[in-house]
Structure 1
Amino acid sequence: MGEKRVLPLLPLRGLLVYPTMVLHLDVGREKSIQALEKVMLDDQMIFLSTQKEVSIEDPAEEEIYNVGTLSKVNQMLKLPNGTIRVLVEGIQRGNITSFMDEKTHVEVEIELTDDVEEKEAETEALMRAVLAQFEQYINLSKKVTPETLASVQDITEPGRLADVISSHLSLKIKEKQKILEIFNVKERLEHLLALLNNEKEVLGLEKKIGQRVKKAMEKTQKEYYLREQMKAIQKELGDKEGKIGEVSSLKERIEASDMPENVMEIAKKELDRYEKMPNSSAESSVIRTYIEWLVNLPWKQETVDNLDIPHAETVLNEDHYGLEKVKDRVLEYLAVQKLTNSLKGPILCLVGPPGVGKTSLARSIARAIGRNFVRISLGGVRDEAEIRGHRRTYVGAMPGRLIQGMKKAGTVNPVFLLDEIDKMSSDFRGDPSSAMLEVLDPEQNSTFSDHYIEEPYDLSKVMFVTTANSLSTIPGPLLDRMEVISIAGYTEVEKLHISKNHLIPKQLKEHGLKKSQIQFKDDCILKLVRNYTREAGVRNLERQIAGLCRKAAKQIVSSEKKKVILSAKNIEEYLGKPRFRYGQAELEDQIGAATGLAYTTAGGDTLSIEVALSPGKGKLILTGKLGDVMKESAQAALSYVRTKVEELGIAPDFYEKTDIHIHVPEGATPKDGPSAGITIATALVSALTKRAVRRDVGMTGEITLRGRVLPIGGLKEKSLSAHRAGIKTIILPKENEKDIEEIPETVKEGLSFILVSHLDEVLKVALAGDEK
C-alpha cells in the first residue's frame, strides 16, 4: 500500500502529464480555477487526471481516468481573456480511491504508487532496444527533432525513459493513458517497444504513399496540358462544348433582355472580349460577372399598379391604425397616377420615434398598390461605394446597394425603402449622403450612374420611401429632396385599438393560442400602456403582450387551465410590479420647480426644472448634462428676471448675494434645445418670489431677453407626453396655434391650451397663490 493523500483534482482535456514532465496548461473552467486557487494557498500540490471525453464541460466520476499524476504548480499567470496559464511539473503516479465533491471544486483521495523495477540486465536490454527503435522513428518522422534523441539518451532511469519517449510520440490519449497505468517498469518498456514498432511501420507506409501521390500529381499536370490542347482543337473545329457554348448562351440572354440599345452594344462588346480571353486570365471572370449583372438587371419589366383607391385604402387600414397623413398622401399619388397615367415616383420621408410602424408602413404601401417591395438599411453606411458601387478596376468590385436592390426587386417600379437615412455618416471613404442626392432627386434619378454598371440607369419610376428617427442629422440638401411626413407617437386610445386589432391577434398566432384560451380586457391593455411601457411607438407594448402570452401558454399547458383572463387586477402576478409611474405631474404645487415639455427621439417627455437659492456671491450653477443652447436659455432667463426685479418684488441686489443653482433631473441623459426657456424663467421667478408653480401646468417656449416667447417644434409629441403625465394645462407660444390642429381629438379633450407671447402672461397662469 502506498501513501494516501487528499488533493484538489484538475481534470485535463485532450492531454496527459507524465511524472518528471514539465508543461504549460491553460485553465478556463470555474471549478478548475477554484482548485488552482486553493492549491496555491496550500502546498502547490494538485492531482492531474485526464477525462475520457474532451467535449464534456463538467465531467462526472466515471468520466475521468482513475490513474493520474501528482503534480506541483510552479507558476500561475492570469490572462486577459479570463483563463489562467499554469506551469506544472509531474511528480509521481497515483490512483484515485474516492471522490469528494466540494461546492467550488472536486477533491480526491489518492494512493501514490512507485515504479516496480525487476531484473537489471533484462531492463537494460529493453532500454537499449527502445532507444534504437526511437532513433529509427525520429529518422522517419518529421514531427520529432534529432535534438530530442540526444536529451533522451542521457536518461538512466528505465521508468523515466519510457515516460519521456511516450510524451514525444503522436499517440491517442487512450494509448498514452495505458502507458501511465502500467506501474511495472519492465512491462511499460515492452509495451512501448511494441508501440514504436507499430508507429515505425505506419510512417514507412506514409512515405510510400507520399511518393505515389507525387507521381500522380505529375501525371495530372501532363493531362492538364493535353486537355488545353484538346480545347484549342475543339475551337478550330467549331465545337460548341466548353466556353464556346457558354458564350452563345450569354449572347442569347443579352438579345432576349430588354436593355436599351446603347447598353446592349456595350454588353456585346464585352462578350467579344470575354470570348477571346483565355479562361486562366483573371479578367475573364470579371467580365463574365459584369455581363451577368447587365442581363439580370430589370431595364423595362414593371408591375401594373392597382389604382383602385378603395382597395388601397382598405389595405392600408388593415395594416395600420391611424397615420392618416401618410395614407392620404399615398391615395393622392394613386389618384393623380390614375388621371395622368404617368407620374414620377414620390420620395416620402417618414420621420418619427422608433416603434411607430415606419418600416412596416412602407411594406403596406407596396401591398396596397401591387408593387414589388425592396428594403435596404443605411444605418452605419460610411462608404460612398455602398451607394454608387465600386469601379470595375478593383478586385472584388460590385454594384452599389441601389442597383443590388433593383436586381432583387426584378422590376423598374418597386417601392424602395431606404431605412434609417438619418444614420448615414461620412469619413475618408467619401460622403454617402451626397451620393444619395442623385438617387432622391426626381430631376436627376432618371440617369442614375453606378460606378460598376457605368451606363445610366432609370430610377424615376421607383417609389422611394425613406425613414428617420430625427431630421437634425440629415444634411439640408438631402432633406430638401424629400417630402417629410412626421409620424408622432400614438395616444393611449390608439394604442388600445392597435393592441386589439393588430398586436394581440399576431401574438396569439405566434404563440399557438386561440381566442377561446386567453382574453385581454381593455383595462389590462391600458395598464400595460401606462405602467409597463413608456414609448411613442408600440414595440415594447408588443413585447409585454408577448410576455403575457408566454405566461398564459405555460399555465394552460402545465395546470390544464382552459382559459386565462387578463385584467388590470391580475396583471402584476404575470409581469411583476409596474415599471413606470403613471402621471409624472407633481403631487402638489412646488416652489422653484416647473414642468417643461421636451421632444426626444423616442417621442415627447416631461422635464422637471428645479431652482435652488443659497447665500453666496451671485454664481449661476447649471447641472443635469445640459447642452450649450439650454445653458444659454438659462442665462437669458436670469437676465430677463434681473430687468424685472421691481415689478416682481425681488430684492434688486439678489444676484450679488445669492447663488442660483438650476438643475434638470435625470442627469445622465443629455438635454439640449431652446424650448425650455420659459420653464427655466418660471422656476427662477418662483424661487425668488417664494410663489409655488401650479403642478398641473406644463409649458414649452423659447425666451428672449425682453421676455418674448418664440415658437418651438414637436408640439404634437409634447402634448402626448403631457396628456400621459396627467398635466391639464399647456402653455405654448402664440405662433404655435397652427400646430394645435395636428393634436388628436382624444388628447385635446383632456387638455387646455393657453397661447402666450410674453413671459408676463406665462407667470400669471403658472404661478399659484398671492405674491409675498
Structure 2
Amino acid sequence: MTTTAVVRQELAVAAFKKVYDIGAIEAALGELGDNANDALRATYEKMLRIGGLRFCVKPNRMPAFDQIGEELPNFLEPLEDVRRQVALCSETDDRLELTPMLLLGEPGIGKTHFAKHLARLLGTTSHYVAMSSLTAGWILSGASSQWKNAKPGKVFEALVNGSYANPVIVIDEIDKASGDTNYDPLGALYALLEHETASSFTDEFAEVPIDAASVVWIATANDARSIPEPILNRMNVYEIPAPDIEGARRIAQTIYTEIRDSHAWGARFPEWLGEDPLDKLAAMKPREMRRATLHAFGNARLAGRDAVIAEDVEIDRLAKRRPIGF
C-alpha cells in the first residue's frame, strides 16, 4: 500500500509588508464631508486603528513537494514551478513571487483542492471567489461609496481585514464570468495580475491605493476559449489531466485521511482505507470522492462498524440526479 500523509501547514518565516500608507488614509478621512458615506468613514477609521503592516510569509525550508505530488499526482507541473520559486528565495530575505496561474481541466478533478493545499504550503490564508455567480466587476474591486449598500471588493477585504500581504486568492471558474454592459467581472484583473499596477491598486469604494502585488493568484477554468487573451497572457496556464487509477487511489486515501483527522469521531476509524472501498472511490472525481467518503463514514457507523467497507461507498447522489446535458 502506498503511504500517504496529509499535507500540514508549513512553518513559515514572516516579514512585514506595508499594504497601505497611514498618511494617505488620514488625508482621505480628513477630506470626507459631513454627508460622506458612514461605511466609508468607518473603513478609514478601522484602517488607521489596525495599521497598514501585514505578514508576508514564505516557507522557512523546502516543503515536502514530493509528498504533495503523491497526494495530487495530476498537479505535478504547477507544483514544480512553485518549487523553483521557493528554491530561489528560501535562503534569502527575498519575498516569494509566484506568477498568477490558471488551472485548466474538467470539473471536479481537484483544482480548488490544490489551491487550498498551496495556501497551507506557503503558510498563508486562502480566499475564494466564484466567478460563475458574479455579474459585476465590483465584487473584486469594490463599488463606489456613492452607491447604496456599496462596500469594498474581495481584494481589499483580504488585505485590509486579513493578516497577510500574500494571501492566496482563488478565482474559481473564471471562464464562467458574466457581466452586463456597465461592468466587466474580469476588469479588475487587468491591473491586479500585473506586479507594477497591483502595487498601487485602488479599490473603488475606499479610493485609496493598496499594495496587492504579493497576492498569489490561482484561477480555475474548464475551457480557456472564453477568457480574454490579455488575461491569459498574464498567467501561467496549466492543463490539468484527470488522474490515472493509481493517482485516483492516492487522492481517495488523502481525502479519507483529511476527513478522518479533522473530526473527533475519526479516531475510531483505521488510518488506512481498505482496498475495496479505495477502488470504488477511485472511480469517482475528487469532488465526488469527498462527499462519498463522508457519507461512507456515516454508513459505517449506522451499521455499527468502525471501518469503511465497499458497501458504504455510494455513487454520488448529486451526480445521479444531474440531468443529461448539464
Out of 291, 300, 312, the residue aligned to residue 543 of structure 1 is 291
- Code of the residue aligned with 2:24 in structure 1: it is V
Contact 1:374 1:408 in 2 (8 A): no
**Identical-pair percentage:** 22
- Rounded to whole Å, the distance in 1 between the matches of 2:272 and 2:21 is 59
- Rounded to whole Å, the distance in 2 between the matches of 1:550 and 1:471 is 39
Contact 1:528 1:544 in 2 (8 A): yes
- Code of the residue aligned with 2:104 in structure 1: it is V
- Identify the residue that residue 92 of structure 1 maps to in structure 2: none
- Rounded to whole Å, the distance in 2 between the matches of 1:402 and 1:424 is 17
In the TM superposition, residue 550 of structure 1 has moved relative to its aligned partner by 2.4
- Rounded to whole Å, the distance in 2 between the matches of 1:322 and 1:473 is 24
- Code of the residue aligned with 2:256 in structure 1: it is I
- Rounded to whole Å, the distance in 1 between the matches of 2:142 and 2:107 is 30
Say yes or no: does 1:316 pair with 2:68: yes
Q: Which aligned pairs between 1:660-739 and structure 2 lie closer than 5 A?
A: 669=325
Out of 130, 136, 139, the residue aligned to residue 383 of structure 1 is 136
In the TM superposition, residue 328 of structure 1 has moved relative to its aligned partner by 1.0
Say yes or no: does 1:429 pair with 2:177: no
Q: Where does the alignment leave 5 or more consecutive residues of structure 2 unmatched?
A: 1-17
Contact 1:524 1:566 in 2 (8 A): yes
Say yes or no: does 1:269 pair with 2:12: no
- Rounded to whole Å, the distance in 2 between the matches of 1:542 and 1:374 is 20
Change beyond 3 A, Cα 1:265–1:422: same
Say yes or no: does 1:326 pair with 2:78: yes
Say yes or no: does 1:491 pair with 2:244: yes
Out of 300, 308, 311, the residue aligned to residue 552 of structure 1 is 300
- Identify the residue that residue 409 of structure 1 maps to in structure 2: 162
SS class of match (1:379)? helix
Q: Where does the alignment leave 5 or more consecutive residues of structure 1 unmatched?
A: 1-256, 557-561, 580-601, 603-667, 671-772
Out of 297, 309, 315, the residue aligned to residue 566 of structure 1 is 309
- Identify the residue that residue 200 of structure 1 maps to in structure 2: none
- Rounded to whole Å, the distance in 1 between the matches of 2:42 and 2:163 is 18
Say yes or no: does 1:350 pair with 2:103: yes
- Code of the residue aligned with 2:243 in structure 1: it is Y
Out of 496, 503, 509, the residue aligned to residue 255 of structure 2 is 503
- Identify the residue that residue 88 of structure 2 maps to in structure 1: 336
Q: Which aligned pairs between 1:459-474 and structure 2 lie closer than 5 A?
A: 459-474=212-227
- Identify the residue that residue 38 of structure 1 maps to in structure 2: none
Contact 1:421 1:466 in 2 (8 A): yes
Instruction: From the two aligned structures, give the one with the greater strand fraction.
Output: 1
Q: Which aligned pairs between 1:753-768 and structure 2 lie closer than 5 A?
A: none
- Rounded to whole Å, the distance in 2 between the matches of 1:287 and 1:669 is 46
- Code of the residue aligned with 2:181 in structure 1: it is F
- Rounded to whole Å, the distance in 1 between the matches of 2:191 and 2:44 is 25
- Rounded to whole Å, the distance in 2 between the matches of 1:454 and 1:480 is 28
The RMSD of aligned alpha carbons is: 3.5
- Code of the residue aligned with 1:386 in structure 2: it is I
In the TM superposition, residue 492 of structure 1 has moved relative to its aligned partner by 1.0
SS class of match (2:265)? coil
- Code of the residue aligned with 1:522 in structure 2: it is E
Q: What CA deviation, in whole Å up to 9, does each residue of 1:135-170 have, x standing for no partner? A: xxxxxxxxxxxxxxxxxxxxxxxxxxxxxxxxxxxx
Q: Which has the larger radius of gyration?
A: 1
Q: Which aligned pairs between 1:136-215 and structure 2 lie closer than 5 A?
A: none
Change beyond 3 A, Cα 1:365–1:314: same
Contact 1:399 1:453 in 2 (8 A): yes
In the TM superposition, residue 262 of structure 1 has moved relative to its aligned partner by 5.3
- Identify the residue that residue 642 of structure 1 maps to in structure 2: none
- Identify the residue that residue 11 of structure 2 maps to in structure 1: none
- Rounded to whole Å, the distance in 2 between the matches of 1:459 and 1:575 is 44
Q: What CA deviation, in whole Å up to 9, does each residue of 1:696-736 have, x standing for no partner? A: xxxxxxxxxxxxxxxxxxxxxxxxxxxxxxxxxxxxxxxxx
Change beyond 3 A, Cα 1:437–1:550: same
- Rounded to whole Å, the distance in 2 between the matches of 1:508 and 1:464 is 30
- Rounded to whole Å, the distance in 1 between the matches of 2:124 and 2:268 is 34
In the TM superposition, residue 455 of structure 1 has moved relative to its aligned partner by 2.6
Q: What CA deviation, in whole Å up to 9, does each residue of 1:467-503 have, x standing for no partner? A: 2222122122111111112221111111122223x12
Change beyond 3 A, Cα 1:320–1:266: same
- Code of the residue aligned with 1:397 in structure 2: it is A
In the TM superposition, residue 269 of structure 1 has moved relative to its aligned partner by 2.2
- Identify the residue that residue 194 of structure 2 maps to in structure 1: 441
- Identify the residue that residue 278 of structure 2 maps to in structure 1: 525
- Code of the residue aligned with 1:382 in structure 2: it is T
- Rounded to whole Å, the distance in 1 between the matches of 2:107 and 2:45 is 39
**What count of residue pairs does the alignment treat as equivalent?**
302
In the TM superposition, residue 293 of structure 1 has moved relative to its aligned partner by 5.3
Change beyond 3 A, Cα 1:327–1:546: same
- TM-score scaled to structure 2, two decimals? 0.77
In the TM superposition, residue 463 of structure 1 has moved relative to its aligned partner by 1.6
In the TM superposition, residue 425 of structure 1 has moved relative to its aligned partner by 0.9
Contact 2:300 2:308 in 1 (8 A): no
In the TM superposition, residue 313 of structure 1 has moved relative to its aligned partner by 2.5
SS class of match (2:206)? coil
Say yes or no: does 1:373 pair with 2:119: no
- Identify the residue that residue 364 of structure 1 maps to in structure 2: 117
Change beyond 3 A, Cα 1:554–1:329: same
Change beyond 3 A, Cα 1:260–1:518: closer
- Rounded to whole Å, the distance in 2 between the matches of 1:519 and 1:315 is 17
SS class of match (2:103)? strand
Say yes or no: does 1:260 pair with 2:13: no
- Rounded to whole Å, the distance in 2 between the matches of 1:527 and 1:345 is 37
- Code of the residue aligned with 2:289 in structure 1: it is L
In the TM superposition, residue 518 of structure 1 has moved relative to its aligned partner by 9.9
- Rounded to whole Å, the distance in 2 between the matches of 1:546 and 1:374 is 24
Question: Which stretch shifts more, 336-345 or 446-455?
Answer: 336-345
Q: What CA deviation, in whole Å up to 9, does each residue of 1:79-133 have, x standing for no partner? A: xxxxxxxxxxxxxxxxxxxxxxxxxxxxxxxxxxxxxxxxxxxxxxxxxxxxxxx
Contact 2:37 2:145 in 1 (8 A): no
